[in-house]
Amino acid sequence: MKTLLVASVFVLAGVLGLALGWSMLDLPATAVKLPVEVKAQLAVSGVAHPVTAVLLNFRGYDTLLEIAVLLLALLAILALPQATSSVERCPASANRMNPMLQTVARLLVPLMVLVAGYVLWAGAYRPGGAFQAGAVLAGAGVLLHLAGLLPPWTSPGRALRVGLAFGLLVFIAVAAAVMLQGTLLQYPPAWAGALILLIEAGLTVSLALVLAGLYLALTDTSVQQ
């Protein structure tokens, strides 16, 4: 009976896979050439890089929802009962007596902050932006934790909670302001560059805290288990 059930699942999965593959092959040709359209509208996007233009201007609402999903994922982890233990249970405590690792962390973290700032600024002209800059800053936080200089997260304080939501709040505020024109996240061409930079600066802070928090909160959870 069990063998028949497993075989049935494999057959159904195979049929579904074939149906999806056939439907993808049978799709009509796209009427809109997105690269051409993006290049044609790049001058009014406020940035010079097409990826940044798409993520923060032409399809900004997608990015807005992505930030919300990341924040909700971290809040869900922090809401787990396992993530409420004492900060003294830091798994990196064994590294607190390692001066070499701590010295390396103290030397690298300022450089990582500088790199994050450059990547944020460069995102308007070349590959980079808030996601990459936030990932670099999050890596700095993880490095500090591994060196025993930063404890795991348990219950974020008020300042940390504001930092986590800061980027999303800035994004929503800008969206609400430009919504007065009648279109969601359609920036005025004269202000597009400044508004995108403002959004990306806020997102860099929040993304760094969210990504680092996913590691620090899970580290604290793993210690208890």
185 pLDDT band, cuts 50/70/90, is: confident
- Output the pLDDT for position 91: 47
CA angle, residues 202, 197, 111, in degrees to nearest 5: 70
- Cα distances (angstroms) measured from residue 163 to each of 2, 12, 53, 160, 167: 51, 47, 25, 5, 8
More confident of the two residues 131 and 183? 131
Q: Is the pLDDT of residue 118 over 90?
A: yes
Q: What is the pLDDT of residues 45-89, one digit of tens each?
A: 888 888 888 888 888 888 999 999 999 988 888 887 654 444 444
- Output the pLDDT for position 44: 84
Tokens for 221, please give them: 């959870």
| Full-model pTM | 0.75
Q: Residue 132: which residues within 8 A CB-CB, separation 6 or more?
A: 119, 123
Over range 138-152, report the average pLDDT.
Answer: 89
Domain locations in the chain? 33-224
Q: Residue 182: which residues within 8 A CB-CB, separation 6 or more?
A: none
- Output the pLDDT for position 180: 79
